[in-house]
Amino acid sequence: MRPPDEALIVIDVQNDFCPGGALAVADGDAIIPGLNALMSEYACVVLTQDWHPADHASFAVNQPGHAPYDTIAMPYGPQVLWPVHCVQGTRGAEFHPGLNAAAGQLILRKGFRAAIDSYSAFFENDHRTATGLDGWLRSRGIGKLTLAGLATDFCVGYSAQDAARLGFAVEVREDLSRAIDLNGSLAAARAAMRAAGVALVG
Ligand code: VGL
Ligand code: ZN
């Protein structure tokens, strides 16, 4: 087992991000056996779940004149528009059935406010609205985080950068993560994570 001040955060391993899903990440399901094995090493495991209302502002269908993967200006900054995905209560929003979700002690849902997206598990995309995860981890004595899941260049990447800025020691298991890689987003996310002090391992 890992030391008691370490936690594993498994990001968005949901049906819609796996092959056959609405926003499928190439090979997204290939990481699941490794994630299950890794979860068994940690006394503290958090699972995040992208959890959007059907009228969510990040869905291209809700932005007339725009198509998926366009970027638009939102009041809180640039926002990539996505196909409809991870709608609350749908099968696409459920964890992949192969994931041992029972190992998670906290399921943190994010992106549930229609007007704002939330890639990071710590802050919504305005970089100000907190999810409360920082306090949850701190009050459990956690200081070191391992992150893995989907997608490396969006929810894993933003979560890792925020965690490092909040003062956690952070490593991202790249071998247990997969990327969307939109217009160079993977290279950009890797550089931004490194600049924030995140260790890219695996
Ligand atoms: C994600 C795009 C939209 C992710 C979530 O989990 O990385 N990406 N919503
Ligand atoms: Zn989303």
- CA distances (Å), 75 to each of 10, 79, 183, in order? 29, 10, 23
Of the candidates 12, 16, 134, 162, the residue annotated as catalytic is 12
27 carries an active-site annotation: no
Q: Among all chains, which residue has been given the structure tokens 């985080």? A: 145
Of the candidates 18, 44, 86, 155, the residue annotated as catalytic is 155
* Full-model pTM: 0.98
Ligand 1 nearest-atom number relative to CA 156: 7
Reading the chain (202 residues) residue by residue, the pLDDT tens digits are 999 999 999 999 999 999 999 999 999 999 999 999 999 999 999 999 999 999 999 999 999 999 999 999 999 999 999 999 999 999 999 999 999 999 999 999 999 999 999 999 999 999 999 999 999 999 999 999 999 999 999 999 999 999 999 999 999 999 999 999 999 999 999 999 999 999 999 9
> What is the 119 CA–ligand 1 centroid distance (Å)?
6
**pLDDT for 22-63, tens place per residue?**
999 999 999 999 999 999 999 999 999 999 999 999 999 999
Site to substitute for ligand 1 among 58, 70, 85, most atoms within 8 A of C-beta:
85
The 10 Å CB-count burial string (b at 16+, else e) for 179-199 is: bbbeeebbeebbeebeeeebe
- CA–CA separation, 138 vs 29, rounded Å? 31
Site to substitute for ligand 1 among 10, 70, 74, 119, most atoms within 8 A of C-beta:
119
> What is the 153 CA–ligand 1 centroid distance (Å)?
9
> What is the 54 CA–ligand 2 centroid distance (Å)?
11
155 carries an active-site annotation: yes
- CA–CA separation, 9 vs 153, rounded Å? 16
Residues with beta carbon inside 6 Å of ligand 1? 12, 17, 50, 82, 150-151, 154-155
The 10 Å CB-count burial string (b at 16+, else e) for 54-73 is: eebbbbbeebeeeebeeeee
